[in-house]
Structure 1
Amino acid sequence: MPGLFHTSVELSPVSFTVGSVTCTKISVGPMDNNAYLLDAGGPLVLIDAADDAQRLLTLIAGRPVAAVVTTHQHHDHVQALAEVVHATGAQAWAGAPDVAAIADQTGIESTPVWSGEQIETAAIKLEVIGLVGHTPGSITLVLHPDAEGVPVHLFTGDSLFPGGVGATRSPSQFTSLLDDVTREIFDRFDNQTIVHPGHGDSATLGDQRGQLSEWRARGW
């Protein structure tokens, strides 16, 4: 997480729509992790089974789940993965360089994906963008709307927050992450694009675009 971090105070699930997809955001666990449940009328997609499996399963409410996608390998994002996958029979997915570390922690073998690939169910399609720096295999998931006038929505895990990129352990990792975020996110998507991070509040790219040079200068 960056030094500038907006903590969510939402205790109850909050829903928003992206064209035909209803997205429900829920905060779980002691680190206020965001999990996102996507519903387009068919099998669901869960982004980050981070913690509190029973709360997530209550939100799922017995509906079929096609996929559970993990944005990166850090322990606070995978605490409920095994229980949710076993309870729902969903396929797990994760960024290819993080798959082994996730399996070591959870016993769950995720299907590896990376930039240029898609996670597609009967009703939901997510573009995958790999962003190297917070972890070797962090991914952002792009939900392109199926209706005109609706912004693109990005589920960025811990790679991009309001106020900065995710925490890194070295200058080279920071540079890698900021370069990837600049090229793959800010250079591709417009100011109306909405970023949904792995913790805290959402923001538009337009809210943050003017801060990129400041982030690079401060080094975090």
Structure 2
Amino acid sequence: MNSSFSMPLRQSATAVLVAAALLATGCSSMSEREQGTAKGAGAGAVAGAIIGSVTGGSAGRGAVIGGAVGAVAGNLWSKRMEDKRAALAQASQGTGVEVARTDDNRLRLNVPSDVSFDTGRADIKPQMRPVLDEVGRNLDPNVHVTIVGHTDSTGSDAINDPLSRERAAAVRDYLSLRGVSTARVSVAGRGSHEPVASNDSEAGRAANRRVEIFLSEQG
């Protein structure tokens, strides 16, 4: 191998090993925010090392710069969002509501039918109110709320589509009474078009009757 290329390649290999170590630090003992930082730093270090060696610069220095940039990019999940996630997880404990961070750095709540709405109805159940109260409590002004209603396949689209929108609108109206401006809220109804389980069983239909709430920070 040409000696002019061997040194940059060795440096790149070393930097990639360092980056792998950074990626490995995104372990389960870290918060989701810390994992995002670590993984972003690792990915940035890999890219920085490769670019540094190809362009004739220092692969090691490129890894350091890339890691710093990646750490910022990976930490788009702010402390405010992590605090809100933890508060919602606590408020919904034992209810069956799923609280998770999405790949695009949104906070997602999946509210099943036994917590949200009775069959064919758009009236919010009492079990859902504490969760919605926590959604609206001290919600950062930069956070936008998207509410998506879903139904099972029982009945026609002519019934299910508007029902899913009515459920989303009911959640919006409840949050509005808790001080969340409707200007910050988007609603949509998917009817039965986005099932998460088979509609061939009662358990599957119950899983498909749900409301999803997404919280996202606006730049």
Length-normalised TM-score, structure 1: 0.24
Larger-Rg structure: 2
**Structure whose residues are more often strand by fraction:** 1
